[in-house]
Chain A
């Protein structure tokens, strides 16, 4: 079955892509760049890197910019999926939804309207196990956004590793923080993963943070041999 992956460039959509590629044919990535930082649907601090990630994966990418207004952004997503069905003959869509009924419901509704398959291979996964699988598969992931107390700029740009996961799990116990960022507490950017033919090297970046909210902006990056 030919599939398109809803791709933000973060850890969840990249892991979902890997699971889909094990079972079916991934034909393209579908990326929505939201101009609304508060969007519940599309979380994309470094969405401009998606093109580079697609190149690293050797996959075509359909990119669409959305104003990110609730419901209107869903129309934009629907149009992007239609574009992918026409351009690449995809029969279904894969998302990295884990816990969010809000996200999953909306993607399922769009797929149902378009009569395409919808797969969510991370659905209901234990968050600790999810983070551990990402490390076990040797993903290179950096924290590219923090949006909740007590996270601050010291987390931005840090690479996800065993120590960082341990800290996130402690914050789950103390503050009820979702360790994999299911509540939008953290966003991530993947720089390398098993299906990447090349890895991403960051050449220039900046941290833009205030209090418990901030982003790690990759200003310039390139692909290098693995």
Chain B
């Protein structure tokens, strides 16, 4: 079971179609999924899933970034997590990283910095963000664009973040996360 966490500003928002449904369409082809809004994630949801994907949000939606207390469960849940865009930014904030301005909209060139199970080499990806995260001591940078860090991984936990949206032109990254880790 994959827990897909809806990171949009409110439950059942218009953003669900754009930022949750495309992830669900990819992950559900491989494994059963359950969707929960971030304010409604329970310990039971976390216990019952194998992996967790945190969705992105609309460009103007930064609500989760001011609510790291709602994601304390990330720190010791023991599950593989993939945070996408706002999901990655939230992972950063929860683990004490600072955000930095990084305005990218459209296809960007992403270069892999460190070998990992999700992607390799250089590739193009769809970006839609105002911020990236500054690297904190607990994280490694996995990839970068010309402007900012594009992917991170916790040094000791299976917690990944990608700033770009793999559900648009890099679906295999979500498939690998669901399949491989």
A-B contact count (CB 8 A): 61
Interchain CB contact under 8 A, A121 and B14: yes
> Contact check: which of A101, A115, A122, A125 meets B60 at CB < 8 Å?
A115
Interface string of B117-140 (1 = CB under 8 A from A): 000000000101010000000000
Q: For A20, give the chain B residue with the smallest CB separation.
A: B14
Tell me if B58 and A118 are in contact (CB < 8 A).
yes
Tell me if A117 and B58 are in contact (CB < 8 A): yes
User: CB-nearest residue of chain A relative to B58?
Assistant: A117
Contacts of B22 in A (CB 8 A): 123-124
For the complex, is A66 an interface residue (Cβ under 8 Å from B)? no
CA distance A77 to B18 in the complex (A): 22
B147: interface (CB < 8 Å): no
For chain B, which range describes its interface: under 10, 10 to 19, 20 to 34, or 35 or more residues? Answer: 20 to 34
| Bound-complex Cα distance A112 to B61 (A) | 12
8 Å CB contact of B105 from A94, A105, A123: A105
Q: Any chain A CB within 8 A of the CB of B59?
A: yes
The interface residues of chain B lying within 8 Å CB-to-CB of A24 are: 14
Q: Across the interface, do A119 and B18 meet the contact criterion of CB distance under 8 Å? A: yes
Inter-subunit contact A122/B17 (CB<8 Å): yes
Please state if B58 and A121 are interface contacts (CB–CB under 8 Å): no
| Secondary structure of the B contact surface, majority rule | mixed
Q: For B168, what are the chain A residues with a Cβ–Cβ distance below 8 Å?
A: 101, 124
**Is B12 on the interface with A (CB-CB < 8 A)?**
yes
Are B17 and A118 touching (Cβ within 8 A)? no
A112-B103 contact in complex given A101-B169, A124-B25, C-beta closer than 8 Å: yes
Interface residues of A in 84-123 (CB under 8 A from B): 92, 94, 101, 105, 108-109, 111-112, 115-123
Instruction: Assess whether A121 is in contact with B17, with CB atoms less than 8 Å apart.
Output: yes
Which of B's residues lie within 8 Å of A, judged by CB?
A: 12-15, 17-18, 21-22, 25, 58-61, 103, 105-107, 126, 128, 130, 167-169
Q: Which 3 A-B pairs have the closest CB atoms?
A: A105-B106, A124-B22, A121-B17
What are 25 A-B contacts defined by CB distance under 8 Å? A19-B17, A20-B14, A23-B12, A23-B13, A92-B60, A111-B59, A112-B59, A112-B105, A116-B60, A117-B58, A117-B59, A117-B61, A118-B58, A118-B59, A119-B14, A119-B15, A119-B18, A120-B17, A123-B18, A123-B22, A124-B25, A124-B167, A124-B168, A125-B21, A126-B25
